[in-house]
A = this chain, B = another copy of it.
């Protein structure tokens, strides 16, 4: 049974933190108090609603029920320093950062895909990476029907996935380009306007970028398929919001494009947008602000026995981050875990 109202902390006032505040309000999350923590105190306004911002200290978590950590791109998130104390205070922590995702004691959850994993929680639940979430929301119902053998994915990821400074770099470069000028690099090691950069995260000795490794390891953990074959190329493109993914899937069992379309049209959190003859397919500009993952360009790949190509687009700030985190909290309320 749900409590009358939860006391909720959002940690982070950047793009994802603001989107968390927006999503909590839009979905009428049963909060009787929402407090924002950030590096320094102040106030922020989201969609005309003002929120007090307190400096992040462990004492702020006392008497609160739920903390949503927005996470930070690249460096260690505030969840590393603050979540142990918050959990001791009895707070349920949902962390959008990368620090705990692969911890075997931490559930990594997409509510449409593996809600049952929430039952094993020990106070902290990790939100998967944006790119993984949208891919698995679309692939899980197909996996249930035909069992995935191998995935090859190439991503077209928007700048907001790298944080507000990355969006600022895109905007300043775009403005400068119109004047025939260039702008200083702020977030990426190269210009992004008019360019594509095959580099998201940090490179390991294997030559893979951390974003590419997340596709592999997070997919295996979330689907409980420790040997799932996934290989990825992650690429930044000059868009603001919304990641695209060209996904090639080989299945163990037959699965026609028609059947995949039927399955996906009934799948939770998925919208099938697949009428290329009428120029209808998912695109970042259309999917920005949407809750669902959009799937189109579904077609048979005849180069393997049971192959499909799909094109998947999701709003990386919403389903890829803030929305999924709030949906985790909602699912925990439904399950009596919060």
Interface status of A134 (Cβ within 8 A of chain B): no
Q: In whole angstroms, how far apart are the Cα atoms of A195 and B300 in the complex?
A: 25
Q: How far is the CB of A184 from chain B (nearest CB, A)?
A: 16
How far apart are the CA atoms of A282 and B281 in the complex, in Å?
28
CA distance A298 to B206 in the complex (A): 10
Nearest to A229 among chain B residues (CB) is B303
Interface residue SS majority, chain A: mixed
Are B235 and A244 in contact, CB atoms less than 8 angstroms apart?
yes
> A127 interface residue, CB < 8 Å from B?
no
Q: Mark A245-261, 1 if CB is under 8 A from B, else 0.
A: 01010000000010000
Q: A197 on the interface (CB 8 Å rule)? A: yes
Establish whether residues B231 and A307, one from each chain, have CB atoms under 8 Å apart when the complex forms.
yes
Partner of A208, one of B156, B238, B299: B299
Q: Is A48 an interface residue (CB 8 A)?
A: no
**Which one of B238, B244, B301 contacts A198 once the chains associate, using CB atoms below 8 Å?**
B244
A240 an interface residue at 8 Å Cβ cutoff?
Answer: yes
Report if A154 contacts B (CB, 8 A). Answer: yes
Give residues 208-239 of A contacting B (CB, 8 Å): 208-209, 229-231, 233, 235, 237-239
Please determine whether B198 and A311 come into contact, CB atoms closer than 8 angstroms.
yes
A190: Cβ under 8 A from any B Cβ: yes
Please choose the segment from A5-13, A109-117, A174-182, A317-325 that sits at the chain B interface, where 4 or more of its residues have CB less than 8 A away: A174-182
Q: Is the CB of A303 within 8 A of B150?
A: yes
**Residue from A152, A199, A237 having most chain B Cβ neighbours under 10 A:** A152
Q: How far is the CB of A245 from chain B (nearest CB, A)?
A: 9
Q: Judge whether A195 and B285 touch: CB under 8 Å.
A: yes
Q: Is the CB of A196 within 8 A of B231?
A: no
Given contact pairs A150-B304, A195-B283, A207-B257, a sample of 16 additional A-B residue pairs in the complex whose CB atoms are under 8 Å apart: A150-B303, A152-B248, A156-B235, A190-B279, A190-B283, A194-B238, A195-B285, A196-B283, A198-B283, A198-B296, A203-B277, A206-B300, A231-B302, A231-B303, A235-B246, A238-B238
